[in-house]
Every structure is written in structure tokens, then in C-alpha cells.
Structure 1
Amino acid sequence: MKKDIFYCEQWSYGYKRLHKPFSEKQAEEKHLKGELYTAVIGSATQPEYVITLREEVGFFSVNFFDKFGRDYLTHQFRKYSNSNYYFLSTAVWRDYITLESHDLAEGYTYFFNENTDDCYVLKQDFINNERYEKTELYPQKDKVILFPKFGEYDLVLNPDII
């Protein structure tokens, strides 16, 4: 099923709205030039996904939202040096106190290494104000992707890439 896509310069997480909306044509021009733009998928006020793209600096990110409008997962991709491919550089998973709460209980941040399968993991317990750190192995081969083509974002909307 095709979902609605709204384009803007950036999504305002605080106000939950499009900041500097673009037409599809304006967004496509930004895409072709590698300039910053954002694709908001689902609803302009309660999206399912927010994809921020800026090819000129070798970056794009995907934010995943639950049915309560909470940003529960973020994937950030960086371009490999001397390649057209991008790797998952950072992933952030957020758990909330209750199903409908917007208050964080804990979060996990994964920092992936560009050249090895090493991954630094930071767990933050926001209730007890504690931090835990460890290093794990995650194969990068499963997290390599090309920069999305304009309007074709399905390949980056995989929350289970880790």
C-alpha cells in the first residue's frame, strides 16, 4: 500500500510539524543536487517515518514512529570512503515508561565501526540515571545500502536491520 509522502527542509520534533514545506518537485531538485531535505511518510502531523537526506555530506537517517507518535528508533547512515555505499553508523532504540507515555525509561545507542564488525553499545537507564557500556560484534555486511532514489524509500524502512 502506497503511503503519503510530505517533503520539507526538516521535521520539527518539538512542534510535530513540517518545517519549511517543499513541493514534490522542489524536494526532487534538492535530492538531485544532494542538498538537505526531509521526507515525512504517513501523515504530516503524526508520521510513521521521517527520512532526512543530505547526499552532499554522505548522510541520511530514518526515524521510526509508533502508533502513539513516539520516535522509538533511529538509524543513521554514513557513506563509506571511496564508495557509493552507505553503512549503518548509529542506531538508537528508545523504550518508554508506559505504552502511552512520552517519558523515556531507557535507551540503547549502537555506534557501528565503518571498517570492522565492532560495535560500541551504550545503554542509558533514565529512571535510575545509570549508564552501561559494552562492545559487541555486528556484521556490517547486512547493514550496507545505497543512497535511496527520490521517492523510493522502502528499502531504508527496515527497523530490523540490526
Structure 2
Amino acid sequence: MKRSIFYCKSWFRAKKRPTEVWTEEQAKSAHAKKQPYAVLVDSIERPFCFLDVADKVVGVGFLDEHLRESLTYAFQEVEPGKLFLTMATHREFDGETDKVTNGISYIFKQDGTVHLRREFFNPHRLETSFTSSDVTTNYSTVPEFGEYDDLIRIERS
């Protein structure tokens, strides 16, 4: 199934809406010049996720039914044409509010080391640990314009 793709200057997280909806031509020009732009997947008003695309980095924010960023992926270019998922963050919220109750970040290294940071906010507590993992599925190719399917896979394993 081909997903609908929309473009904008950026996704305004606090207001839960895009800034400056762009034409495909505007976004294609930004992509070619390695300038930042955002991609909205499925809808302009209620996207499944958004991508912040810039030179050498791509961020993916997965949105819940209240348009809160419940899962975030951060990819960095590790060699020409190859991205690596360096961090994944999952957040939990207080009911239907935007208040984050806790979150966990997984910071991945290419050698398989994974640093886990779990943070609770009321009362504040931080837990950290290290583990190792097979990170072969953390790699992705730098996307061609309009080809974002590999980056928006929630399951990476």
C-alpha cells in the first residue's frame, strides 16, 4: 500500500500542526540542496508520523491519536549514502494530556552497545543501563526524494 505523502517546512510539535505546507517541487528542491524540510505521512492534519529531513540526519516522530510524539527515531549518516539509527525514544503520557510521565531512550552504537536511559518525571528518577544488541537492522540507506518507507518502520528487528 502506497502511503500519502505531504511536505512542509517543519512539524510544529507544540501546536501539533505543520508550518508552511509545501508543494512537492519546493520539497524536492530542498532535498536536492540538502536543506531541511519535513514529510508528513498519511495526512496533513493527522499524520501517522513526520520526518525531519536534513543533510546527514533524519528524525522520525511517530504520533499517537492525540498527535503527541510517542516514539522518536534519530538517524545519522555514518558513511556516504548510509544512515544508522542512533537513538530511539518512547514516551508515555498522563492520560490525554501532553504531560510526559516517563520515557526510555535507547542509544545505539555501531558496535552493538546499547545505552538505556529510563526517566520518570513525578517524582524525578533516572535509571541507566548498558546492554548489547544486533544492530544490523538499524542501518538504512539515505532516502531518495519521496522514498521514506524504510525509515518509518516502527519494528526495526
Q: TM-score, normalised by structure 1?
A: 0.89
Tell me what 1:33 maps to.
Answer: 33
Q: How does 1:102-121 map to 2 (within 5 A)?
A: 102-114=98-110, 116-121=111-116
1:101 alignment partner in structure 2 = 97
* Equivalence for 1:61: 59
Structure 1 counterpart of 2:92, one-letter code: D
- 2:135 matched residue in structure 1: 140
Secondary structure, counterpart of 2:137 in structure 1: helix
Unaligned runs of 5+ in 1: none
Partner residue in 1 for 2:2:
2
How far is the alpha carbon of 1:137 from its aligned partner?
0.9
Structure with a larger share of its residues in strand: 2
Name the structure with the higher helix share: 1
Cα distance, 1:132 vs structure 2: 0.3
Give the alignment's TM-score, normalised by structure 2. Answer: 0.91
SS in 1 for 2:43: coil
Aligned counterpart, 1:126: 121
Aligned counterpart, 2:148: 153
Aligned length in residues: 157
Residue number in structure 1 paired with 2:74 = 76
User: Residues 8-27 of structure 1: matches in 2 within 5 Å?
Assistant: 8-27=8-27
